[in-house]
Amino acid sequence: MLHQDPLVFLPFSVLDNFLLGAPGGPFLDRKLGRRALGETAARYGFDFNADAPTRSLTVGERQQLEIARLLWRGARVLILDEPTTGISEPQRVELFAVLRRLAAEDLIVIFVSHKLEEVEALCHRVTVMSRGKIVGRRTLPAPRDELVRLMFGDIALGGTRPEVALGEPALTLSGVAVGRRAASPYPDLTVAAGEVLGLAGLEGSGQRTFLRLCAGLEKPGSGRIAVGGRALARQPYRRFLDAGVHFIPAGRLEEGLISGLSVAEHFELVGGNSSFIVDRAAATAKAEHRIAEFSIMGTPATTADALSGGNQQRLLMAMAPDEPMLLLMEHPTRGLDLGSGEWVWERLLRSRAGGTAIVFASSDLEELLRYSDRIAVFYEGGIIAVVPAAAATASSLGLLIGGVMP
Amino acid sequence: MNRLRSVPLAIVIGIGATVLLLLAAGAPPLEAMRLIFDGAFGNTSRVAATLMAWLPLVLAAAGLLITFQAGLWNIGVEGQIVMGAIGAAWVARTVPGPSALVVPLTLVGGAVLGAAWALLPALLRTRFRVHEIFSGVALSFVAASVAVYLIIGPWSRVGVASTSGTDLFDERTWLPTAGSWRVSPVALVVAVAAVVSVLVLLRDSRFGLRLRAVGRNPESAFLFGIPTGRYTVAAFGLCGALAGLAGTVQATGFHHKLVPAISGGYGFLGILVVLLAGFRAVWIAPIALFFAAVQVGSTQLSLRLGIDSSLAGVVQGVLVLAVMIVGGAQVYSAARGPVVTGEEEG
C-alpha cells in the first residue's frame, strides 16, 4: 500500500527508511540493505543517495523510495492512493512508466485517483465508487460521459427557487492568492447581495481555504478582499465580523459549537450583551425564543454536544445574525435528514431574500445545481471555472470537477 | 464525568489504599486516622497550623481553577508563588510606615509580581507558541534561583550568607494577628474573598463564560469573535496574582522572612486540589482544607507511631489518582456503551 503522503520517517536516512520493517534479527544489516537498495533502485531507474536524510528528498522521491521498499519486501499487489497529488509532472511520467512496467511483470497495480485523465492514461480496467459503494465497472477505454455519470449519479432537478433581484456587490475578490508563492491567484470574483455562489469540487480541492479566506480566518498572500465595499484583506477576523461576515463550518461540534456549554450560554456568547454579570433569566428567555423560532429540539439548558446533528446545525444557524451581509457555509446539509436539509435551505433562502449573499461548499451536485446562481469549480486548490448554474448540468459539472476542461 | 458518583467511590478507593499502606507500615489504621484528625483539629494551635497550610493552598488552587477553566496547564504556579513572596518581601524590606499602610502594599506587591511572572508563559504561548507546561517548569526554576540569589546575595543577613533565609521582616509588615492566634484574620478575609470572587467570576460573569468557552474549544470561541489570546493572558494574570497572594501569605504571614523553599509546594498541591475538585469552584475550599488537614495532622504519625509523615503526600496523591481512574473508567465505559442517536448522521 502506497499512501497519498508516503509513510517515511523524515529524520531517518534513506537506507534506514528502506530497512524499516525488514525481517531479520535484532540488528540491522545495513550492508545487505545498501546492496538491495542499490539493486532495486537500478532496476527501476531510481537514483538514491542511501545516506541522505529522507527530509531532503522531494515527495516524488520519497514515493519512489517507498515503492522500492515495498518491491524489495516482495509486494505482489501494489495499492496507490492518489499518488500524483504532491509530485511534479516529470515524476508523474516516471511513476506511470514504473507502474506500467510492474504490471507487465505480472504485479497487480491498484491505482486510486479522482483524475479521469490519469485513469484513462494508465489503467486497463476501472471500478467507480461513490459514497462508499461500488457503482460500476468498465473496461477502458470507456466513454468519459459515462464515467462521470457513474461518479455523480443521475440528477433529477426539481424544486424552484424564488427569484431575487441582485443588489450591490457583497463580496469582491481581486487578485487573491492563497500563499505568497501560490502558483496562480483565484479569478476575480464578485458576489452580489442576494446571490448564491456554490463551490463545487472534490473534497479537499481548496474550497475550505477559499471560505476561510473570505471569512478572515486565513490571510491571503496577496490580493484584495472587500465585503460590502470595505477592504478587509489581512485585517483581523474581528473586522470581518463587524462587516457582516458569518462563517458556519462543517465540523459543527469541533469548530462551530462548544461541547459542555448550554444552548443558552451559546446565545449569550454571540449576543451583543456586555453586562459583567450574565443575567440568567434573560438569557434563558432569549434562548427559549430562539429555540422556538428555529425549532431546535432541546431546552436552554441542553448542552451543545447533547443535540443531534440536525439540531446542532439549527443552533449554529440560530446563532448567526438574521441577515448578515455575507454568509459562508461548508456542507449546509451534510449528515442531515431530508426534512432538516429542506429546513436549512428554507432559512438560507429567506436570508437571501433579505439581501444576504451566500457562498457555500458542497459535494452534492444536486444541492449545488438547485440552490446556486453561479457555481465555482475547485480543482487542486484553485478555481478552474465559474459557471452559471442555469447553464450547467450534472455531467458538465462532473467533468469540471474531474479536471477536464470543456 | 458524574462527580456525585465518582468522588465517593474515589475516596473509598483512596482510603482503602491508605489502610493497606498503614497496615504494610505496621500501624493500626483506625488509630492512625484518629491521630491525623486529632493532629489537624485537636486544639486551637493545631487548627491554626491547619489553617496556615490552607491559606496558601486555597489561594493557589483558586487561581489554578481560572487557568484550568481556560484550558491552560499553569505548571509554573510554583514560580508565581515564589515571585509573589519576593514581591511582598521587597515591599516589606523597603517601604517604611505603619502596618495599615505597609500590609496592603505587601499584598499588592505580591499579587503584582506573581501576575507579572505569570504573564511570561502567557506571552510565550500566545506570541511564540511555547507550551505553558515547558515554560512553566523553566520559569519555576528561574524563580527559585532568584529567591536563593536574593537570600545569599543582596538580601543576606548581616555578616552571614546562609540559605536559611533573610533577616526577619519588621514586625509592622507582618500580616496582623489577633490575640495569641497565629492565623491572620486579614489573610483569612483575603483567601475567602478570593475563593468567592473566583466562584462568581467563573459561574456568573460574562468574562467567566467566555473564558470557559475558550478553554473548551478555542476554535469555536474564536469563530464567535472572542479574542482568545487576550483571555489566555487574562487567565494567566489572574492566576499569577492569586499565586502571588499565596506567596505573600507564606512570606509575611508564616515565615516572616524570605526562605528558599518559600512556596512550600502549595502550587503543585493546588493542582491536585483542582483536579480532585473536578474544576468546580465550590469544592476548592473544602478539598484544600482536607489536604491541609492531612498534611498537618500526619506529623502526629511520626511523633506517636514512628511512621514517616510523608504518608500525607502519598494519601493526597492516591486520592487524586483514584479520582482520575474512576473518571477515566466512566469515560471508557460510556464510550463502549450503546450509542444513542437521534437522527441519521453522515
Q: Which three cell numbers, joined as nine digits, stand for A111?
A: 491505482
Mean pLDDT of chain B: 87
Distance (Å) from the alpha carbon of A269 to chain B's nearest alpha carbon: 7
In this structure, the strands spanning A77-81 and A189-192 are unpaired
Nearest to B225 among A238, A254, A278 (CB): A238
Mean pLDDT of chain A: 86
Cis, bond preceding A141 (omega within 30 deg of 0): yes
Are A337 and B344 inside 8 Å of each other by CB? yes
Distance (Å) from the alpha carbon of B7 to chain A's nearest alpha carbon: 20
CA distance linking residue B245 with residue B252, whole number of Å: 10
Name the least confident of A5-19, A231-245, B332-346. Answer: B332-346
pLDDT tens digits, A247-284: 999 888 888 999 989 999 999 998 777 788 888 888 99
Distance (Å) from the alpha carbon of A172 to chain B's nearest alpha carbon: 22
Residues 209-228 of B with CB under 8 A from A: 209-210, 212-213, 216-217, 219-227
Residue type, A206: G
> What is residue A215's predicted lDDT score, i.e. its pLDDT?
93
Alpha-carbon distances of A333 from A142, A241, B140, rounded to whole Å: 33, 23, 50
> What is residue A160's predicted lDDT score, i.e. its pLDDT?
62
The more confident residue out of A220 and B122 is: B122
In this structure, the strands spanning A196-200 and A374-379 are parallel
> What is residue B345's predicted lDDT score, i.e. its pLDDT?
34
Domains of chain A: 14-112 (3.40.50.300), 157-244+321-406 (3.40.50.300), 260-320 (no CATH)
Is the CA virtual torsion A111, A116, A120, A125 positive or negative?
A: positive
- State whether residue A249 sits within 8 Å of chain B by CB: yes
The more confident residue out of B155 and A10 is: B155
> Shortest CA distance to A378 belongs to which of A401, A358, A399?
A401
The average pLDDT across A371-376 equals 93
Alpha-carbon distances of B327 from A69, A260, B1, B215, B285, rounded to whole Å: 45, 16, 6, 20, 21
The torsion defined by the Cα of B23, B28, B31 and B32, in degrees rounded to 10, comes to -30
Are A278 and B204 inside 8 Å of each other by CB? yes
Are A270 and B224 inside 8 Å of each other by CB? yes
Residue type, A340: S
Output the CA angle A269-A272-A278, nearest 5 degrees.
55
Are A258 and B206 inside 8 Å of each other by CB? no
* Smallest CA–CA distance from A280 into chain B, residue: B204
What SS3 state is found at A332? coil
First to last CA, chain A: 34
Residues 260-319 of A with CB under 8 A from B: 260-261, 265, 268-270, 273-278, 280, 297, 308-311, 319
Name the least confident of B13-17, B201-205, B288-292. Answer: B13-17
pLDDT interval class at A240 (50, 70, 90): very high
CA distance linking residue A17 with residue A19, whole number of Å: 5
pLDDT over 50 (residue A397) = yes
Q: Which three cell numbers, joined as nine digits, stand for A186?
A: 483565484
Q: Phi then psi for A372, rounded to 5 degrees?
A: -85, 155
* Smallest CA–CA distance from A297 into chain B, residue: B342
> What is residue A181's predicted lDDT score, i.e. its pLDDT?
59
> What is residue B344's predicted lDDT score, i.e. its pLDDT?
34
> Using a CB-CB distance cutoff of 8 angstroms, which residues of chain A are in contact with residue B341?
308
Domain ranges of chain B: 54-181+203-277
Is-contact B243 A288, C-beta < 8 A? no
Are B224 and A278 inside 8 Å of each other by CB? no
pLDDT interval class at B1 (50, 70, 90): very low
Distance (Å) from the alpha carbon of B126 to chain A's nearest alpha carbon: 16
Is-contact A147 A116, C-beta < 8 A? yes
pLDDT interval class at B136 (50, 70, 90): very high
Are B342 and A265 inside 8 Å of each other by CB? no
Output the CA angle A255-A259-A262, nearest 5 degrees.
120
Highest mean pLDDT pick, A27-36, A136-145, B51-60, B94-103: B51-60
The residue assigned the cell 491554626 is B48
In chain A, % of residues over pLDDT 70: 96
Is-contact A55 A11, C-beta < 8 A? yes
pLDDT over 80 (residue A56) = yes
Are A278 and B206 inside 8 Å of each other by CB? yes
> What is residue B322's predicted lDDT score, i.e. its pLDDT?
78
Is-contact A2 A81, C-beta < 8 A? yes
Output the CA angle A325-A331-A335, nearest 5 degrees.
135
Q: Phi then psi for A112, rounded to 5 degrees?
A: -95, 125
Is-contact A183 A345, C-beta < 8 A? no
Cβ neighbour number for residue A103 with a 10 Å cutoff: 16
Is-contact B132 B124, C-beta < 8 A? yes
> What is residue B128's predicted lDDT score, i.e. its pLDDT?
92
The average pLDDT across B164-180 equals 85
Give kind and range of the element (H or E) at residue A373: none
pLDDT tens digits, A6-21: 777 888 888 888 888 7
Are B216 and A259 inside 8 Å of each other by CB? yes
pLDDT over 80 (residue A399) = yes
Count Cβ atoms within 10 A of the Cβ of residue B167 and give its class: 0-12 exposed, 13-18 middle, 19 or more buried: middle
Is-contact A226 A219, C-beta < 8 A? no
Name the least confident of A112-116, A220-224, B195-199. Answer: A112-116
> What is residue A141's predicted lDDT score, i.e. its pLDDT?
84
pLDDT over 90 (residue B33) = no
pLDDT over 50 (residue A120) = yes
> What is residue B333's predicted lDDT score, i.e. its pLDDT?
62
Cβ neighbour number for residue A272 with a 10 Å cutoff: 5
Nearest to B205 among A277, A308, A340 (CB): A277
Name the least confident of A24-28, A134-138, B294-298. Answer: A24-28
Residue type, A272: G
CA distance linking residue B325 with residue B331, whole number of Å: 10
Count, residues in chain B? 346
Are B206 and A268 inside 8 Å of each other by CB? yes
Q: Which three cell numbers, joined as nine digits, stand for A380?
A: 487542486
Is-contact B238 B63, C-beta < 8 A? yes
| CA-based max dimension of chain A | 77
Are A278 and B217 inside 8 Å of each other by CB? no
> What is residue B338's predicted lDDT score, i.e. its pLDDT?
41
Q: Phi then psi for A122, rounded to 5 degrees?
A: -110, -40
In chain B, % of residues over pLDDT 90: 55
Nearest to B206 among A260, A275, A311 (CB): A275
pLDDT over 80 (residue A130) = no
> What is residue B335's predicted lDDT score, i.e. its pLDDT?
52
pLDDT tens digits, B234-253: 999 999 999 999 999 999 99
What SS3 state is found at A248? strand
pLDDT interval class at B342 (50, 70, 90): very low
pLDDT interval class at B312 (50, 70, 90): confident
> Using a CB-CB distance cutoff of 8 angstroms, which residues of chain B are in contact with residue A280?
204
The more confident residue out of A2 and B296 is: B296
> Using a CB-CB distance cutoff of 8 angstroms, which residues of chain A are in contact with residue B221?
258, 269
DSSP assignment string, B178-242: -TT-SS-HHHHHHHHHHHHHHHHHHHHBHHHHHHHHHHH-HHHHHHTT--HHHHHHHHHHHHHHH
Name the least confident of A35-44, A71-80, A314-323, B2-11. Answer: B2-11
Is-contact A202 A368, C-beta < 8 A? no
- Integer-rounded Cα Rg, in Å, for chain A is 26
CA atoms within 13 Å, Cβ hemisphere of B129: 0
pLDDT over 90 (residue B72) = yes
> Shortest CA distance to B202 belongs to which of A303, A300, A278?
A278
The more confident residue out of A402 and A1 is: A402
Q: Which three cell numbers, joined as nine digits, stand for A108?
A: 497487480
> What is residue B316's predicted lDDT score, i.e. its pLDDT?
77
pLDDT interval class at A329 (50, 70, 90): very high
In this structure, the strands spanning A245-248 and A326-330 are parallel
> What is residue B30's predicted lDDT score, i.e. its pLDDT?
85
Highest mean pLDDT pick, A117-126, A227-236, B51-60, B325-334: B51-60
pLDDT over 50 (residue B202) = yes
pLDDT interval class at B346 (50, 70, 90): very low
CA distance linking residue B90 with residue B87, whole number of Å: 5
Distance (Å) from the alpha carbon of B327 to chain A's nearest alpha carbon: 16
Q: DSSP label at B338?
A: P
pLDDT over 50 (residue A36) = yes
Are A278 and B209 inside 8 Å of each other by CB? yes
Output the CA angle B112-B114-B120, nearest 5 degrees.
105
In chain A, % of residues over pLDDT 90: 28
> What is residue B7's predicted lDDT score, i.e. its pLDDT?
65
> What is residue A163's predicted lDDT score, i.e. its pLDDT?
75
Is the CA virtual torsion B324, B326, B327, B329 positive or negative?
A: positive
pLDDT over 90 (residue B200) = yes
